[in-house]
Structure 1
Amino acid sequence: MLINCAAYQSGKKLGDVAVEDISDYLAKPECFVWVALKDPDAAEMATMQEEFDLHALAIEDVMNGNQRPKIEEYGDTLFAVFHTIEIGDDGELVMGQVNVFAGRNFVLSVRHRTQQGFQDVRARCEREPDLLTEGAGFVLYALIDSVVDRYMPVLDVLSGEIEELEDRIFEKHGAAASRAIIEDLYSLKRRLVILQHHISPLVEAVGKLVGGRIPQICVGMQAYFRDVYDHLVRVSNVIDARREMIVTAIQVNLGMISLAESEVTKRLGSFAALFAVPTMIAGIYGMNFQEIPELHYRYGYPVCLGVMAAIDVILFFLFRRAGWL
């Protein structure tokens, strides 16, 4: 569906225009048209293809809706694809796609599966008429910059989850809770990998607008695209750092599990030793021999029990001092 269609001239908005009047404004000097679509059907895209003379392969990519982030040139028109990332109600990542056609005198943005629109980008551009005189190049920058800025809140949420899981690692809990922590850490790592998968290609794509042969539409805007590129590199580095933190957290959690198991083993060994000494003494006196010391002594039985109890008491305090009990 059509979200917005407006014409601009010399950095100022002329007004909203009808789709059938787009060609009239494209013919005006120093004038460009900015059209925004959301989940368009084939008929709407066919109309835009006719109005802006768009390449058929780019239109096919838009309709497929599952393209990796990229920036391609079709003659004098730039075709950019980048992904939006939002967090759903269930905590999972929701991926959207934004396609942008930027020509000499027009910008066409098409978004799929994206709840948040770009009205704020349009308002920002209209507040900066000096930059808006750059035309399609500035609008393309503003759209990419807005998408990149929306990555950071998502990354902040995931970073908060990492810190919460790190705190849980050092709490006393059972085997079931330890397993749940590992599952949550792995789920978090999986989401970071997905995030990196959608951001890394965009780093390479935007890099083409910074150095080397700059497309004509972007000439004069290199400093702005370099700023976006720096933000993307920073986001990518933060993701790598968070993934390393998760790997370390998993290793620490496994180490805590091993320590807990070691404590249990020591306690069981200590209790086994407390029972082993009386069992050994009772076993000796239970052997079928006539010449056993104190066998016929009147107080042999209580003395034997006393010796067992005394040894166990001594062992108990020794184990307690060693921290085994």
Structure 2
Amino acid sequence: MAAITVLALTGDTVERHPVADVATLLERPETLVWVDIPECSDEAVAMLTDVLDCHPLAVRDCMQRNRVPRVRIYPHQQLLILHGPERGPSGHVHYLELDQLTGDKYVVTVHGPINPNVPIEAALRETEIVRRRLEGGRFRPGSPFELSHAITSALSHRLESFIEELTSDVWQLEQRVTGGHMGNPEEFLEEL
């Protein structure tokens, strides 16, 4: 399992910290904290509950698979549940869940639960893109909501690319059917 990543963003500075520093980092003025949790472990639940005082329903939603995207508003934070597609080797589509808890000084991203057949790198793709932009100095969010927007936009770009790829596949199959060039019917049905 991949480790929890904690980033503290202050002005033009991006620092990595251990999970134990989250409470102290939240007390720093002008600091935005991003905690990226690859899978909701006991350590993650303790941080969500004890340090960030997350609503119990938000913690529950981060621990379990949620079938549909949703937004939940709690007194001092918002929960956004999103899904991104990942094509499996046989054409099966996995929906990778990415939960975001956004508060006044932090964003917490929680991935999963992740199907064991999906590589962890696929689940972390969007947060890694945003993290690299931060650490490379190409992105400096002014608020937790700007950081959440960047992560959500990265996920939307993947969804857009996936839909374009599926549309292209369907278009090619349609061209073969309407052109009468299906070839071996059994192989064609398998492709469909």
Q: Same fold (TM over 0.5)?
A: yes
1:55 aligns with 2:63: no
Counterpart Cα distance in 2 of 1:181 and 1:165: 10
Q: Which of 127, 131, 150 in structure 2 is aligned with 1:122?
A: 131
Which residue of structure 2 lines up, in the alignment, with residue 24 of structure 1? 24
Counterpart Cα distance in 1 of 2:104 and 2:13: 17
Counterpart Cα distance in 2 of 1:35 and 1:136: 11
Counterpart Cα distance in 1 of 2:97 and 2:21: 28
Q: Cα distance, 1:180 vs. partner?
A: 4.7
Aligned ranges 1:268-287 → 2 under 5 Å: none
Write the letter of the residue equivalent to 1:148. Answer: S
Aligned ranges 1:283-294 → 2 under 5 Å: none
Say if 1:173 and 1:89 are closer, same or farther in 2 by CA, change over 3 A: closer
**Residue aligned with 1:2, SS:** coil
Verify the 8 A CA contact 1:102 1:108 in the aligned structure 2: yes
**Residue aligned with 2:4, SS:** strand
Verify the 8 A CA contact 1:125 1:139 in the aligned structure 2: no
| Percentage of matched positions with identical amino acids | 22
Verify the 8 A CA contact 1:5 1:19 in the aligned structure 2: yes
Say if 1:183 and 1:122 are closer, same or farther in 2 by CA, change over 3 A: closer
Higher radius of gyration, 1 or 2: 1
Write the letter of the residue equivalent to 1:24. Answer: T
Say if 1:33 and 1:77 are closer, same or farther in 2 by CA, change over 3 A: same
Counterpart Cα distance in 1 of 2:44 and 2:182: 58
Aligned ranges 1:90-109 → 2 under 5 Å: 90-109=90-109
Higher strand share: 2
**Residue aligned with 1:150, SS:** helix
TM-score with structure 1 length normalisation? 0.51
Q: Cα distance, 1:125 vs. partner?
A: 3.8
1:250-286: CA deviation from partner (whole Å, max 9, x where unpaired): xxxxxxxxxxxxxxxxxxxxxxxxxxxxxxxxxxxxx
Verify the 8 A CA contact 1:100 1:108 in the aligned structure 2: yes
Write the letter of the residue equivalent to 1:119. Answer: E
Verify the 8 A CA contact 2:96 2:123 in the aligned structure 1: no
Higher helix share: 1
Which residue of structure 1 lines up, in the alignment, with residue 117 of structure 2? none
1:10-37: CA deviation from partner (whole Å, max 9, x where unpaired): 3531x11122221111111111211101
How many residue pairs end up in the alignment?
A: 180
Verify the 8 A CA contact 1:11 1:135 in the aligned structure 2: no
TM-score with structure 2 length normalisation? 0.83
Counterpart Cα distance in 2 of 1:33 and 1:16: 10
Aligned ranges 1:143-182 → 2 under 5 Å: 143-169=151-177, 170-171=179-180, 177=185, 180-181=188-189
1:208-259: CA deviation from partner (whole Å, max 9, x where unpaired): xxxxxxxxxxxxxxxxxxxxxxxxxxxxxxxxxxxxxxxxxxxxxxxxxxxx
Verify the 8 A CA contact 2:80 2:99 in the aligned structure 1: yes
